[in-house]
Amino acid sequence: MFDIRAIIRTLVRLAPAALAVAGLVAGAVQAQDKWPAHSLKIIVAYPPGATGDIMVRAVSTRLSEELGQPVVIENRAGGAGISAADAVAKATPDGYTLLLDGPNHVSNVGMFKRLPYDTAKDFAAVSNLGVTQTVLLAYPGTGFKTADDLVKAAKAAPGKINFGSAGNGTAGHLSMELFARHYGIKMTHVPYKGATPALTDLMGGQVQVLFTGLPPTLANIQAGRAIPLVVSGGRRAPQLPNVPSMNDLSPGYEDAPAWFGLFTTAGVPKNILNELSKKIDAILKEPAVVNTMNNQAVVIVGGTSEEFEATVKKDLQRVPALIRSLGITVE
C-alpha cells in the first residue's frame, strides 16, 4: 500500500527546488528570445579609411546605441574580399556576425573559378548603405569636354583610345566596358594595380580616359589636370553640379554595381533581419550620417532587407555574365 501522506510530504519538500528549476529554464528561454544579448561584429572587406570602412563606421556607432550592445569593426582587407565573406558565410546564423562588402561581392562570382562559399545561398542581405558615384575623366590633351566627344572619337578610331582602370574586373573597368557597349564603341583596356597609378598615368597622357572614384579626384579636377565628362548614377554629384549624370545622358542606364551593403549569414531569423534593416534605415537619415556619406560622394539607399536582396540577385545575374563575356579571370 502507498503511504499517501508520505508522498504528499515529499512533494511539499521538493516543490521549492522544482520551482527554482522552472525559473531557471524560463529565464534561459527569455534570454534566448532577447536579441541582441551581447556584442555584434562587422567584418569589413576593406582597409581602414577606405570608402566602405568610413560608411560602416558612421552607421555602426549609432547602431550600437540603438541595440544597446557594442558593435565591433574587424577590417579584413585583401584577397578581393573573399576571406571576409567566407568568415561570415561560415558563421553561426544568429545575427551577431555581419559583413560589409561592395561590388566585388558579385563580381568575384565571375572573376574566380571557385569560391569557398555560394554567394547566392550563403548570405542574407541586411541593408544597402549606399551607392558610390564614380566619374569618367579625360586627359586634358584629348580635348574631350563631354562624353559625346569621347564617343565620336572612339567611333572614328576604334581601339585607338586607351582607358585605364584599377585592375581587371574592378568597378572602373566594368563601368567603362558597359559604357562602351552602350554606345557601340571599342577602346583598349590598360589595367593597373590600383586606382592611384591609373589616375597618375591619365594625368600624364599614357591613357586617355578612365572611370574612378569621385572624392580622391576632386583636387585634380579643380586644378585642371583631369576633365570630368560624366558621373555615374541617376543624379548629378553635389561636388560637380555642372557635370551630367549617366541618367541625364541616357535615362534608365544601368551602371556597374557601386553599392556597399551589410550582409549576414544565411538562416538568420527574419525578425532579426527586419530589426537590423529598420534601425539602419533610420540611422541613414540622420544629419551627421548624411553629411559623412555626402563627403564620400555616396548616394544613400537604405530600405528593407528584401529590397537589397533583390538588388544583389539582379547583379548576380548580370555582372558575372559580363565578366565572363570579357574573358576576365583571376585563376
State the CATH number of the domain containing residue 212.
Answer: 3.40.190.10
Confidence label for 9 from pLDDT (cuts 50, 70 and 90): low
In 3D space, the residue among 258, 269, 10 whose CA is nearest the CA of residue 124 turns out to be 269
* Domain boundaries, position 281: 40-132+258-325
Residue-wise pLDDT for 54-66, tens only, equals: 999 999 999 999 9
Run of H or E including 316: helix 305-325
Q: What pLDDT score does 215 carry? A: 82
Residue 263 covered by a domain: yes
Residue 1 covered by a domain: no
Q: Considering its fold, how many domains does the chain have in total?
A: 2
Q: Same domain for 104 and 126? A: yes
Chain-wide mean pLDDT for the chain? 89
Q: Same domain for 90 and 142? A: no
Among 14-23, 27-36, 103-112, top mean pLDDT goes to 103-112
What's the average model confidence in pLDDT over 80-107? 96
Check pLDDT > 90 for residue 301: yes
In 3D space, the residue among 302, 300, 305, 301 whose CA is nearest the CA of residue 275 turns out to be 305
Q: The whole model's pTM is what?
A: 0.81
Residue 18 covered by a domain: no
Q: What pLDDT score does 169 carry? A: 83
Q: Same domain for 271 and 298? A: yes
Long-range contacts of 195-199 (CB under 8 A, 24+ apart): 195/166, 198/164, 198/165, 198/166, 198/172, 199/137, 199/164, 199/226
Q: Same domain for 262 and 128? A: yes
For cell 570579357, name the residue. Answer: 326
Point out the least confidently predicted range of 27-31, 34-38, 118-122.
27-31
Q: Same domain for 143 and 245? A: yes
In 3D space, the residue among 226, 238, 159, 157 whose CA is nearest the CA of residue 195 turns out to be 226
Q: Same domain for 145 and 177? A: yes
Q: Same domain for 96 and 159? A: no
Run of H or E including 280: helix 270-283
Residue 27 covered by a domain: no
Do strands 123-132 and 259-265 pair parallel, antiparallel, or not at all (unpaired)? antiparallel
Q: What pLDDT score does 2 carry? A: 47
Where residue 80 sits, what CATH number does that domain have?
3.40.190.150
